[in-house]
Amino acid sequence: MPVLRHSSYPGPPRYLYNEHLQTIVPSAFRKVKGLVYERERLDLSDGDFLDLDWVDKGSKRLVILTHGLEGDSRRPYIMGTAKLFAQNGWDVLAWNCRSCSGEMNRAFRLYNHGEIGDIHEVIQHALRTKQYEEVALVGYSMGGNITLKYLGVHGKGAPDVIRQGVAVSAPVDLGSSARILDNPSNRFYKKRFLSKLTRKVLMKAELHPGLLDITKLKSVQVWQDFDEAFSAPLGGYRDATDFYTQASALNYMPGIEVPVLLVNAQNDPILTPQCAPAALAQQHSHIYLETPRLGGHVGFMVARDEFTWAERRALEFVSS
């Protein structure tokens, strides 16, 4: 579809005057009240588990929410989306990637941007559990990449009830996103992600002795060093380059067979222009690309609104 040249995002509140404030303030200070989840543990085919958080409204429509790197179902952007969709008559399933629900997973692996086997098991479980007539997939950041890769890989083989997908602030070209994290202006995000992931690597090394060389942590300088030493082996990839190639949704998006919306802000500090594939969107009948000038990374706050513009835009898109 044609690229949406004019975004409906009205812009952030005045005090969020740059891309970093537009990114950090919603993540650190936003509170979503009045949402109650029901937790379910899903046993996976490989003997591991995932924790699923439901909002059951008894609806025939379900939205499945996928969080970002080192996020979980309690992040404000997930809870905001869950609350908005529930208020509008949808059931909600916000799933936590392996190791992200507050308890370390058992297997010698973590989640990653290219892992779509887990979301497939989540979808299959949801369809076995209840008789849904319509399912929408909504993902943020890493979760947006997972959503788009899943729909691209499965194409016409995806369950018929999946009608739409939405990806917000999605690093669909993972290699370029990894490199931009090394920019001096992004040291806050890089340090925060590395700190959290390093703790998990150390836990994995303790649970699975001899399978990871944790001495390599001392030599991590750029983000690719971490992916080479840890993300790749924990994800079953040959090396960092193989990881970036196989994980990037951009390499699979031509196979998408349902309408999808990709929303990436032009001022997103940790995404590159390669993550807004205008040429692909222009020639693909199912891909809508919207690139607001402002918004930051998973930001898109609006003055005096309980919900972000991205949350309302996701609901609008899947309801149209």
* Catalytic (active-site) positions: 141, 268, 297
The whole-angstrom separation of Cα 146 and Cα 172 is 9
| Strands across the sheet containing 61-66 | 38-43, 49-55, 91-96, 61-66, 134-140, 162-168, 260-263, 287-290
Three-class DSSP category at 212: coil
Pairing state between β 49-55 and 91-96: antiparallel
Q: Which residues contact 277 (CB under 8 A, 6 or more apart)?
A: 172, 173, 250, 253, 262, 287, 289
Distance between CA atoms of residues 125 and 93, nearest Å: 11
65 φ/ψ sector (left φ>0, alpha ψ -120 to 50, else beta): beta
